[in-house]
Amino acid sequence: MLKVTDIGKTYGEFTALQNINLEVKDGEFLAIMGPSGSGKSTLINILGLLDQSYTGEYLLGNKNYQTVNDNELSQIRGDQLGFVFQNFKLLSTYTVYENIEVPLIYSKKVQNNKHQLIESVIEKVGLKGKEKNLPTELSGGQQQRVAIARAIVNQPKLVIADEPTGALDSKTSKEIMDIFEKLNQDGTTIIMVTHDSEVAEHAMRTVYIRDGRLYNDEKSVKNHD
């Protein structure tokens, strides 16, 4: 699915990432853990093709998109990637159905069964009957379900989730993680950033970031202190 080789990233004088090497296989569910400020967002912004200014090489599906123009990039992001955020980022004046429809409106993929596609993801995330509701009429967990449905409606290869349970209580977090697990079992590759080790347990593999460096297990982070 993707391969990161020796990636580095600086903000001015500040080194946010260094010597990052990471491979994610098709069908994996990877959790990225690390304290606040360790570089998690910086890394997933690169993986999600939101940031093109880094050193080293990033291949997504064997392709290097570093020199691709912004128009093409947003097309690729829309067609191949799905994003889920801590604060859901739903459009507040759009209904559940309309929020989920948005990626399909911008997609160049041929979809002649849009309605069925939307209904099938609504069913998948357990929101049948809520199509006409506004986000403000839903609980946090339900809003995150809408966001997940929106992220997968284009059938992306890769879903990137940044603290998807960060705003949810632990019971709701578990329900959301069950949805991610089911999604992964259906073949979607998932990369998730989390602070919560219980949430990370739902992933197949966890890597750790500390001060802009990536570690494959917690022990090697501690050995570096």
The residue ranges that bind ligand ADP (CB under 6 A) are: 11, 14, 16, 34, 36-42
For the chain, how many residues are written?
225
Q: Could you tell me the smallest distance in angstroms from the CB atom of residue 202 to ligand ADP? A: 20
CA distance 50 to 41: 11
CA distances from 216 to 51, 114, 134, 220 (A): 24, 41, 41, 7
Q: Count other C-beta atoms under 10 Å from residue 61's C-beta.
A: 13
Closer residue to ligand ADP, CB minimum distance, 14 or 67: 14
143-167 burial string, b = 16+ CB within 10 Å, else e? bbbbbbbbbbbbebbbbbbbbbbbb
Q: Which is nearer to ligand ADP, 53 or 112 (CB)?
A: 53
- 13/62 with CB nearer ligand ADP: 13
Question: Closest distance between ligand ADP and the C-beta of residue 9, in Å?
Answer: 8
Name, in order, each residue with C-beta under 8 angstroms of 125's C-beta and a sequence gap of 6 or more. Answer: 145, 146, 148, 149, 179
CB of residue 196 to ligand ADP, shortest distance in Å: 13
> Could you tell me how far CA 156 lies from the centroid of its own chain?
11
Q: How far is the CB of 212 from ligand ADP (least distance, A)?
A: 7
CB closer to ligand ADP out of 14 and 110: 14
Closest distance to ligand ADP from the beta carbon of 6 (Å)? 18
User: Closest CB to ligand ADP among 96 and 200?
Assistant: 200
**Three-state secondary-structure class, residue 215:** strand
